[in-house]
Amino acid sequence: MREPRLTRLLVAVAIAIAIGISGSGCVAKNPAPVPTYTPARSESPTPTGTPTAPADPVLRPGGSAIANRAYFMFVNSRFFATRGMSDGRSIVDNLVAAGFVKQDMELTPDQTSIGVAADSIIVSVRIKSSCLIGQFAASGYTDTLAPVLGTGGCLVGTTRPIDW
């Protein structure tokens, strides 16, 4: 019984060898080169010029409060970065130097009614029917945009005269 199994095995091996030998005859003597992977050159883009910083905002005379808010924030933030909370007169003078109209401004007092330095100073600039409002405090500078109040002003409460 073992003989037929062995015979079949030998026949299978012989067939496999024959197929291998016959297949090798189809191979050319000088096989074509096998392509190899060559990654594409990675080139960094070459700068075409010196990168420029975004332009500073500018005052837009005759423009709305919305159109001038970025400039208002820029002027006051730069002032705060160099001078801190400072005092109301310096804040107003800085805004006037930047092109805002003093007659359109309101300012809260630098000191409380008992002579202690105020925790914050608020300045506003009325432009048409809106108000640019900036607050200077020891913790930082913030600003907002608000509609003109029914009184025609921008700030609620006691303000100080800007008569210098």
Ordered by start, the domain boundaries in the chain are 65-147
pLDDT per residue over 83-126, tens digit each? 999 999 999 999 999 999 999 999 999 999 999 999 999 999 99
pLDDT per residue over 34-58, tens digit each? 666 555 665 666 566 677 888 999 9
Which residues touch 111 (CB under 8 Å, ≥6 apart)? 117, 118
CB-neighbour burial class of residue 93 (10 A; exposed 0-12, middle 13-18, buried 19+): middle
Residue listed under structure tokens 């160099």: 82
Quote the pLDDT of residue 8: 63
pTM: 0.68
Quote the pLDDT of residue 52: 80
What gap in Å lies between CA 87 and CA 92, rounded to an integer?
A: 9
Which residues touch 59 (CB under 8 Å, ≥6 apart)? 68, 71, 98, 99, 100
Sheet holding 105-107, edge to edge: 105-107, 120-127, 130-137, 140-147
